Amino acid sequence: RSSAQSLLRLLGFVFLGTAAAQALGGVLVILMFKNYGYVFQESYLSLPGWLAIAAALILLPTGVMAGSISIKSSRYQQGTFMYLLLLLLCLEVSSAVLACVYSIRMASQLESAMGYLIYQHNGSCSQDPGSRAVDVMQRKLQCCGVHNYTDWLKATTTSWHLPAHVPESCCKEKYSHCRGHLSHLEQLSQEGCLKKLEDQLCFVMLYVFWCCTVLSILELLAGVSNGILMKHQPFHDFRIL
């Protein structure tokens, strides 16, 4: 019993500490799909992030309750704690599975989605949302084209395209006078956006996946510890039955 109380107290502190890490993972997922919404067009792709944030919010009272139960056991607190752990387990597992599935699914769709946006690009001064999204992506990731800058040379059907010229969003930040001319390759980002976006997607989704997986295991340990304490404290209030 004393070991179960010590473990539950420790897990209570762990839950409180990892709530911030869990919330961070959820925010990263949501921001990523918000910043690159025209590449990740399905709105439900941010669902793992929202589930992670919901789990982080529930982790706070769960951690406090775990510490309280380890000091003074209460049947009502122990029952509520079990329900919270069950709810957390459902959220964590759902978030982990969705993060894994979406990362695999989006990795296979990124290249075609980015290629289509580049093909439809109408110039750096265009007010078209898709064109603006490409420019924002290239500036944020410091990249150019899908695989490299030569992808822009293949987009010959765009009305703005001129020989030896790419969008100004391909320019490196330190060259303020850059206009996207290929005669000054040193002023342009050489890497393509596909690999950078894939790496970012993989990092964010793996972060959420492992965070949820580790927390699920810890929640199972907390449930076992709480069950041991409940076993040593029978329902005295219902002896009359």
Per the CB < 8 A criterion, the answer to whether 52 and 22 are in contact is: yes
Residue 110 included in any domain: yes
Residue 56 included in any domain: yes
Task: Rank 165-174, 182-191, 206-215 by mean pLDDT and report only the highest.
Answer: 206-215
Residue 37 is part of which domain span?
Answer: 1-127+205-232
Number of domains in the chain: 1
Q: What angle do CA 227, 86, 24 make, to 5 degrees?
A: 120
* Confidence grade of residue 124 (pLDDT, cut at 50, 70, 90): low
What does the pLDDT read at residue 122? 66
Residue 153 included in any domain: no
Q: What are phi and psi of 149, to 5 degrees?
A: -65, -20
Amino acid at 109: Q
pLDDT in tens, 104-117: 877 777 878 888 88
What does the pLDDT read at residue 104? 81
Tell me how far CA of residue 204 lies from CA of 8, 28, 31, 93, 168, in angstroms. Answer: 30, 7, 10, 16, 28
What does the pLDDT read at residue 42? 67
pLDDT in tens, 43-82: 677 889 999 999 999 999 998 888 887 677 667 788 888 8
Q: Give the Cα separation of 241 and 239 in Å (integer).
A: 5
What residues does 171 pair with on adjacent strands? 188
Residue 36 included in any domain: yes
Residue 194 included in any domain: no
Residue 227 included in any domain: yes
* Confidence grade of residue 240 (pLDDT, cut at 50, 70, 90): very low
Q: Report which of residues 126 and 22 the model is more confident about.
A: 22
Residue 123 included in any domain: yes
What value does the mean pLDDT of the chain take?
Answer: 81
Spatial CA neighbour of 29 closest among 43, 15, 19, 17: 43
Residue 142 included in any domain: no
* Confidence grade of residue 24 (pLDDT, cut at 50, 70, 90): very high
